[in-house]
Amino acid sequence: MAEETQAAEAGSKKNTVMVLAGVAILTLVGAGGGWVVGGMIAPKEPAPEPQQEAAAAGGEHGEGKKDEGLPHISTPENGVVLLEPITTNLAYPSENWIRLEVALAFKGPPELPLAENIHQDILAYMRTVSLQQIEGPRGFQYLKDDIQERIDLRSQGKVAKVMFRTFVIE
């Protein structure tokens, strides 16, 4: 009888060791598979360009200038003025807010006082708009057309185009 209990204990220990070995192998395979899939899905960081490395290292002439990323489209040279973000509530329902960022492309040199007047005019107009007027793609197109028309009247043809950069309704 003692021999039978020793054989049963040895068999159960062997089974326990086999189960633990199987769990360990499956854990390693799962971790390795997750690592491989994560490497395929994760975005690759682009290698820094030589100019960026020089700027990060202190510039070519020791200026210590920081790399600012992409240049802004609004520069006096290209005649584009980026207006400050417009954030206001709508006329109806007044609980809804709208945030709008607009850039103006001038036909000639940009006029900053005119751009500020246009900014205030757009702000005043957005306070009169209801949510139902700007719902959907057709409503957004009507809004763009209305703002373009108001800017054409205000600028007397000095602004060639209105560019919407962001449009968020909350």
Q: Are 80 and 105 in contact (CB under 8 A)?
A: yes
Residue 13 is predicted with a pLDDT of: 80
Strands 80-82 and 159-169: unpaired
What is the tens place of the pLDDT at every residue in 33-87?
A: 888 888 888 767 665 555 544 444 444 444 444 445 545 666 666 788 889 999 9
* CA terminus-to-terminus distance, the chain: 80
Q: How far is CA 168 from the centre of its chain?
A: 13
Q: Break the chain into its structural domains and give their ranges.
A: 80-169
Cβ within 8 Å of residue 162, ≥6 positions away:
102, 103, 104, 105, 144, 147, 148, 151
Name residue 94's amino acid.
Answer: S
With cut-offs at 50, 70 and 90, classify the pLDDT of residue 11. confident
Q: CATH says 80-169 is which class?
A: alpha beta
CB 146 within 8 A of CB 125: yes
